[in-house]
Structure 1
Amino acid sequence: MNKQIYLILVLILSIFFSGCAVHKKIEKSGKNLDTPRDHLGFLDVYDPLESLNRRVYRFNTIVDNNLIEPVIRVYKKIIPLFVRDRITNFFSNIDDVLVMGNCLLQAKTEKTGEVAARIMVNSIFGIAGLWDPATNFGLIKYREDFGQTLGFYGVRPGPYIMLPILGPSTLRDSGGKLIDSLSKMYFVNLSNINTSTDLSLSTADSLEFRASFPFSYGDFDSPFEYDIVRVLYMDMRNLMINDGLYLEENKKVNNTEK
């Protein structure tokens, strides 16, 4: 998902939490209101592990604020932007191979052809994907993962899961992430990169991805942050699986699945 969509999600978060702040002030004024949760039914998601997930969310907040973000700041100061862009493009090109595979599994022939063209252009003219001329040629960067493929064929998301460090997921998407990660490792190994270099590049790629993500745990001083991140993740996956079409029946499944 591109950075613009993330920014839109953050804007939605900002608007929502502003509303929460107003609600809190009204509560303090002494007016008789129902509990805030009564007004937030749209936030409900199938989350049987909520107690554990909330603890993991707090853990992620501590690690992100006190370890990952300081490391990212140092990384951005030390590594020139030119080098960072080459790393990002290299892994993006490998990711496109996985995207093409998932498009093929979903029988999206037109999109498969577009992604294949993108890989060829970037691999040849972009020198193994270090540059991204395909975008300048109008070849869009798509996002398709194995979790989306499973969802495309009707596999339900299962319970919501907050993964340590990795963040929001579901049982279905966690399995998809595992398959995608193993596949990505396989294609990186085909590039004949030694283990230490592979580890360094993969770490840099992860840091670069996190650096481009505008949301930080705890940015919104609100008791509803966990709830809103959860529902936004589920809605985002709904949109991704259905190529931008929001299906209300999927929303109902997410809320009631057992």
Structure 2
Amino acid sequence: MVIGCLLLSGCATQQQETFQHSYSTENGDHLAFLDVYDPLEPLNRRIYKFNTVVDNNILEPVVRGYKKVVPSFIRTGLSNFFSNIGEIPVMLNCLLQTKSEKSGEVLARFMVNTTAGIFGFWDPATNMGLIKYNEDFGQTLAVYGVPAGPYIVLPILGPSTLRDTTGKVMDNLTKTAFVELAAISSSADLTLSVVDGLTLRASLPFSYGDFDSPFEYDLVRALYIDTRNLLINDGAFVETHFKAREAVK
């Protein structure tokens, strides 16, 4: 499956390069940043509408109930706990990307929060100046030259690309391996996964319909690709990209 995904990603190299170079055309269309390789757009738009219905009518009401029932300090603790578990794939991806110094910082953060933070429910590492990094297997694949491939909207999970979807699978396998090593029961794992999902959704500021625009799909797609490019390049991105953004304000 993974090999097939990588092969399909390779077919999209030319389209992705066209998208990336669109930022550097000073006299070109200022809306070029909206041009994303999206051959599955008709299907993606249907899934986006499905996600809108599910999120507005199921997930958001559940999250509101979760916030109402669970005190904020407990929600913060749970968020810290799952964030601490997430340091494991982050550290592995730092190593795969040969970012040895960053991987050491992630390990230190994990150890501090697991011990002094009592299994990660508190976050003393941040107060100590240890930065929270975001590295995943999708970024690792990008570092090794694997193209993003077509844009994909996943049911419930939302925006992705073929490369990032492959990365999500690998990162989840890493977390699964950690759960097995920690000898966590399947019922406890399911409960933790549900709470993790609620905690994650409660932390996201975005709601479907927030843009109040018929072009919300296009804007979300462009913002997702931009954010991923920023993460892959550790915050460094081509200057003309920002000029394009300013031009449409």
Q: Which runs of structure 2 are paired with 1:53-68 in the superposition (5 Å)?
A: 53-68=44-59
2:18 matched to which residue of 1?
A: none
Q: Which runs of 5+ in 1 are unaligned?
A: 1-37, 251-258
Q: Which residue of 2 aligns with 1:142?
A: 133
Of the three residues 204, 207, 230, the one matched with 1:216 is 207
Q: Which of 53, 65, 80 matches 1:74?
A: 65
What secondary structure does 1:161 align onto? strand
Q: What code does the residue aligned with 2:99 have?
A: K
One-letter code aligned to 2:32: G
- In structure 2, the residue matched to 1:195 is 186
TM-score of the superposition, structure 1-length normalised? Answer: 0.78
Instruction: After TM superposition, give the deviation of residue 55 of structure 1 in Å.
Output: 0.5
Counterpart-to-counterpart distance in 1, 2:192 and 2:227: 28
Q: CA deviation at 1:42?
A: 2.6
List aligned pairs for 1:95-110, cutoff 5 A: 95-110=86-101
Query: Does the CA-based 8 Å contact 1:118-1:134 persist in structure 2?
Result: yes
SS at match of 1:179: helix
Structure 2 regions of 5+ residues with no counterpart? 1-28, 242-249
1:118 CA drift (Å): 0.5
CA shift for structure 1 position 218: 1.5
Counterpart of 1:242 in structure 2: which amino acid? N
What is the CA distance between 1:248 and its match in structure 2? 7.6
Q: CA RMSD in A?
A: 1.8
CA distance in 2, matches of 1:118, 1:163: 31
Change (3 A) 1:140 1:239: same
- 1:48 to partner: Cα distance: 0.2
TM alignment of 1:88-167, pairs within 5 A: 88-167=79-158
- Aligned to 1:162, the other structure's residue is in SS state strand
Cα distance change on mapping 1:39 and 1:248 into 2, 3 Å? closer
